Amino acid sequence: MKFLLYSQSGEGAQILKRIELEGNKCALYIKDKEYKSAFDGLLEKTENPDDFIDDDTIIIFDMSGNGSIADSYRKSEHHVYGASEFSDKLEHDREFGFDIMEKAGIKIPEYKVFNSIKDGMDFVRETNRRLVFKPSGDMPSKLTYSSAKNSEELLAYMTFVEKRFGKHIKSFVLQDFIEGEVISSEFFCDGNDFIWPPNSTVEVKRAWSGDLGPSTGCSGNITWIENNGSKIIGNGIALMREICQKEQFCGQIDLNTVVNEVGVYGIEFTPRFGYDATPTLLTLLDDDIGYFFSGIAKGEIEEFSFADKFAGGIRVTIPPYPVEPQGHGDIEKLAPNIGVPILGWKEYQDSLYFYEVSKEDNQLFHSGGTGVIACAMGIGDNPLECLVYPYDILEGLVIPDKQYRVDLHNVLPGMVEKALKLGKGDK
């Protein structure tokens, strides 16, 4: 088979590499020129996707943001996995995402939309409730903030945001804080229907041990298949079935929820690859990865087989991560780490999901970027066991200034147990 990965920054390149190792012809297109060197020496790359694509090519989009391009390929009757204008709006327009949840019948915490920081701050003062600040627009994705104690914390933070990022924020949401466990659940969709089985994930976002430091995409995660029914699935992502059918959605759709004894509350959608959750989940897949994605894109598969185990992943990085650059050239200024060597990886390569790496003369090194090197992954019969091998891998990797959380074995298993307990009951 033939596959093209259309990527913004190369995040999904390792999945494409796995597909290539299964005997398929593959090419990688990276749109963002600051990440163009990712996977040099590891994959065939193209500067013009149309030069590689033919009628038999499976086109995979690994991120939101290129939905109009994905839809144009679909209109040309190509087989496309991921991305659409619908999924772009679902992820990036918070108010639209909440409207969709309400149409689907998913509970959401009470919220109010604002276009003015001043109006929002007045609302915080008036309500004096614990609220979560969620911005939309062209700004750092990690600006979401929840005050830990009182409204004064949020007011101070919003003052900072207005001064530093105000011109980048189109609108923002102030939403009631709900006590509970944060759990993500997901279905894969083939444009016609959901594909069984669904999966669930818990993840830790704070960068450093002890839950210190800034929020990141994911510092560590555990994911598992939901074969036996779960009220988190039934009262959450499963309610999106008819909407996804109507939109002819092809890809994966994840609903991030807060769950407590009262109910399941939708927080946000991730209608794309989850990093590091998707690579971790695919370690449980019993089929070839290429067969998996081609089957979904062509609408030829109704159900897939996954191991009934837990999969865990831990992210390893180097400085300046978790910095988030704001403009062209910022990475080069902030990251004098291009070319940092990566050693000790070969014996673990089947359980490493690489990000910002390249290869030359059989030497793996950092290709440039924010410093995201890899996710070390493992499988186990229980949540604790699936993190043992990832920590062995991370100890064996030799990377100058490597950094990762050392406490996830004390954090993630308890999160899984709470999620499983809350999920019991009728769908």
Output the pLDDT for position 344: 98
Output the pLDDT for position 288: 98
User: Average of pLDDT values for 11-39?
Assistant: 97
Taking phi over 0 as left and psi of -120 to 50 as alpha, with beta for the rest, 361 belongs to left
> At the top level of CATH, which class does the domain 110-176 belong to?
alpha beta
Output the pLDDT for position 308: 96
Radius of gyration of the chain (CA): 21
Question: How many angstroms separate the Cα of 285 from the Cα of each of 84, 309, 388?
Answer: 25, 11, 20
Q: Answer yes or no: are the C-beta atoms of 253 and 268 closer than 8 Å.
A: no
Task: Report the predicted TM-score, pTM, of the whole model to 2 decimal places.
Answer: 0.95
**pLDDT at 138 exceeding the cut of 60:** no
- For the domain with range 2-88, which CATH number is right: 3.30.300, 3.30.1330, 3.40.50, 2.60.40? 3.40.50
Q: Where in the chain is the domain with CATH 3.40.50?
A: 2-88
DSSP string, 234-281: HTTGGGGHHHHHHTT-EEEEEEEEEE-SS-EEEEEEE-S--TTHHHHH
- CB count within 10 Å of CB 55 equals 9
Nearest to 391 by CA among 288, 312, 305: 312
**pLDDT at 325 exceeding the cut of 90:** no
User: Average of pLDDT values for 360-383?
Assistant: 96
Look at the alpha carbons of 39, 45, 49, 52 in this order and tell me if their dihedral is positive or negative: negative
For the segment 233-273, what is each residue's pLDDT rounded down to a tens digit?
999 999 999 999 999 999 999 999 999 999 999 999 999 99
**pLDDT at 346 exceeding the cut of 70:** yes
Tokens 């998996």 sit on residue: 292
Output the pLDDT for position 164: 87
The span from the CA of 212 to the CA of 375, in Å, is 20
Instruction: Point out which residues pair with 137 in neighbouring strands.
Output: 169
**pLDDT at 69 exceeding the cut of 60:** yes
Q: Where in the chain is the domain with CATH 3.30.1490.20?
A: 110-176
- CB count within 10 Å of CB 27 equals 20
* End-to-end CA gap in the chain: 38
User: Average of pLDDT values for 104-126?
Assistant: 96
Nearest to 129 by CA among 158, 154, 104, 108: 154
**pLDDT at 17 exceeding the cut of 90:** yes
For the segment 142-153, what is each residue's pLDDT rounded down to a tens digit?
688 987 777 899
Query: Range with the lowest mean pLDDT among 7-16, 297-306, 332-341, 345-354?
Result: 332-341
Output the pLDDT for position 311: 99
**pLDDT at 124 exceeding the cut of 80:** yes
| 325 three-class SS | coil
Output the pLDDT for position 330: 63
Output the pLDDT for position 135: 87
Q: How confident is the model at residue 169 (pLDDT cuts 50, 70, 90)?
A: confident
Q: Answer yes or no: are the C-beta atoms of 194 and 244 closer than 8 Å.
A: yes
User: Average of pLDDT values for 116-128?
Assistant: 94
**pLDDT at 426 exceeding the cut of 80:** no
User: Average of pLDDT values for 286-298?
Assistant: 98
Sequence-distant (6+) residues with CB within 8 A of 91 are 64, 97, 268, 269, 270, 271, 272
The span from the CA of 197 to the CA of 267, in Å, is 22
- Helix (H) / strand (E) containing 197: strand 194-208
Mean pLDDT over the full length of the chain: 94
Output the pLDDT for position 142: 67
Output the pLDDT for position 427: 43
Q: How confident is the model at residue 168 (pLDDT cuts 50, 70, 90)?
A: confident
The span from the CA of 306 to the CA of 203, in Å, is 20
